[in-house]
Structures are given as structure tokens and as C-alpha cells.
Amino acid sequence: MSRKRLIVVGGPDVDARIPLLKKLSDSYEPIAFGTDKTLKDTFDSHEIEFHHYPLTRGFLSLKDLSAQRICKDKFTALKPDIVHTFDTKPSVFARLAADQAQVPTIIGTLPGLGILWSGNQFSLRWRRSFYSGLHTKACKVSSCTVFQNQDDIDLMVRERVVEESKARLIRGSGIEAESYNLRWNEEEKSALREELGLSENDFVITNLGRWTRSKGILQLIEALPYLSKTIPQAKLLLIGKEDTNGLDRLTPKEVQKIKAHALCPGYVSDPKKLLALSDVFVFPSTYREGLPRVLMEAALLKIPIVAADNVGTREIVQQETTGLLLPPNNPQALAVGIIHIFQNEKLSRKLTTNAHNLVLKEFTLDKIQMEHRRLYDEFTA
């Protein structure tokens, strides 16, 4: 039986879909569209066809209409059975392009609603209003729209962006759990700690992600004075770098403050071993997350999690069962949670065991790829 042709459209990180596409390749012929030309070699190495299209990351530009036209022409030529888009802008312009190209099955995944639905500033409200209209149109021409948590479905149905009958829930893109079974000796671990400037006695508090206001990075810095009396050996390790293009980007002065108070190794393509040095993983984000992958990574590495109570985060962090949930935008509360982990080894063991088991049960790549198969079969059988 011939494979159905599946085009997945994403942004500069569309390569994150490679593990899912490889799992599906027995039944589907995968093709990827992305906004970073340099990803072609990566996809070639996995024998997946790749096409570049020029969608910008900012709010809106004439290039976006050009990207829609390019996608429409390529979809018409490639004749896919399914076009599945990921992220905010691709899920607008590429879905509209797929409709123009008369693709039979159009699916859009919104892995979180992002900064546009996180804040209430005027600049965000009018952008949100504009994008709501675009998404409403894209959802209308689609077979369905996929969300990664029920809170996002409820909001978008309530705001009439998507019809309830066309909303689907798939919790994440799947994670390859076996790759988190790290094999390294104490000598390697000590060498990495030394490279970072960590002593054997330091209590390592870690965060991984972009440095933006809504990701809560400043709350971590502001929590340090509350920690100093109880955990004088606390060290903050921030894996990632500043986002210079985001709507809630930090000021240069704030970035300098972060660098003055934390160890900052920058962006790391495979951060598993850095994460594994952590005594606690702290996630103070108020960004409207879909289902934060980094929390799954921390869980698989058995690192206790302290997080702000937020949409998406609650899918993984269940209060005093798989982690600690604390009030958002509250550095003192973050410090209290971190101290609670520091002082309670028995609680930490319980949280990490439960979180690890939850990810293995609910979020593995094998489980998520089966949910995608069922979704595709629903519309193409």
C-alpha cells in the first residue's frame, strides 16, 4: 500500500519534529517546510525532503504574504494528502495556503498560545485581536486544530476562534525517554562542574530556555537574596540566551544583571548533561505554554521541579505529587519552594519518582505518534 504524503510546516525549529516524522514514515511520506535554510542538511541526513519558505518571526510583514504564496505553489505541485502546521504564524499562513492549494486534510497545532495570550498590555491586546481573526479564518478552513492542553482549547472555543467540534487534544510532540538514561562517570561529572565554575558542595538551581520577561528569568534573580541565608552555597545555572526579537525582551541592563548573578553557558544544543548537574529545576514562566518539553526533560532526569502555577505547566507539575506549584511573579514564593526541596530529601525523591513515571506513561514519543496516526486516519481513511 502506498504511503500518504504528509507535509509538516514549522518555523526555525521544525527539526524538532524529526523524531515524530521518522516514527510515522512507515505509513506516511514525510516532507518538512521550515524558515531556516540551514536545516536542509539536517533533514537530508535523515532522508526527509526539506523546503525553505521565508516566514518572518516578527509580528507581520509583506514577506508573510510572500511565504503564503510560496507555500501555496509548492503544495499545489507536491499534492500532499495532509498539511500539518505547527506554531502561531505557520498555523495561520500555511493553513490558508493549503486551503488555496485544495489540500484535502489541513491540520494546525498550536503548541501554546504564547506571549499574545499571556499579557494584558495594550500592545499585546491589539495584536491578539488581529491574530484571533487570522486564526479564526485558518481554523475554519482546517479539518481540525490541535492543542496541547485543555485550558487552551477552552479559551479558544470560548473566544470563538475554533469550533469545539474541530478542536483536538494531543499533549505534546513526544519525547524519546531512552535518550535520557545518561551513562557517565563521576570523573566526567566533576570535570563539567569544574568547567562551569561549580564546586562539589554547590546547590545548583537550573533553568533552561529563552531569556524573556514572561519566562520569569528576572524572578529567579530576585529570588536569590531570599535563598542566601538558608542556602549560602546556592548557584544559579541558566542554560539559554536572551531573546532579542521577542515582544517581551529584556533590556540590556536586565541582561547584564542576569549575567552578574548566574552561571550562563549560553545556548546548548544537547543540554542533558548540564541539566543532570541540577539539584532543582525552577520554571517561573508565565508565558502561555502548551506543554513545556523542558519539564519532561527534568522529570526524565529525576530532577525535582519548582514551577509557577501556569497553563501547560500544570499538565506535568501536579502540586506535591510531581513537583511544587507556586504563585506566579513571586520571587519570595520561588525561594520558599526551592528551600523546601533543599530541606526535604524524602519529598524530593517522591516528586522525582512520580514525575518520571508520569512522563513515561503519558508523554513518550511512541504514545504521541500513535495519537497522530489516529488523528490522520480520522480524516484520510
Percent of the chain at pLDDT exceeding 70: 97
**CATH for the stretch 177-362:** 3.40.50.2000
Q: 61 pLDDT exceeds 80?
A: no
| Residue type for position 328 | P
Mean pLDDT computed over 238-245:
88
- Beta-strand relationship, 288-289 and 112-114: antiparallel
Lowest-pLDDT range, 1-15, 27-41, 49-63, 202-216? 49-63
**CATH for the stretch 4-174+364-380:** 3.40.50.2000
Q: State how far the Cα of 255 lies from the Cα of 260, in Å rounded to an integer.
A: 9
Q: 283 pLDDT exceeds 90?
A: yes
List phi, psi (to 5°) of 234.
-65, 135
pLDDT on residue 128: 78
Half-sphere exposure of 141 (CA within 13 A, CB side): 21
pLDDT on residue 58: 62
State the average pLDDT for the chain.
92
pLDDT on residue 244: 81
- Over the stretch 67-86, which tens digit does the pLDDT of each residue have? 999 999 999 999 999 999 99
- Over the stretch 306-356, which tens digit does the pLDDT of each residue have? 999 999 999 999 999 999 999 999 999 999 999 999 999 999 999 999 999
**What strands, in cross-sheet order, belong to the sheet with 144-147?**
49-52, 28-34, 4-9, 82-86, 105-110, 144-147, 167-169
List phi, psi (to 5°) of 306.
-120, 125
Q: CATH 3.40.50.2000 region(s) of the chain? A: 4-174+364-380, 177-362
Model's pTM, two decimal places?
A: 0.91
pLDDT on residue 352: 98
Q: 119 pLDDT exceeds 70?
A: no
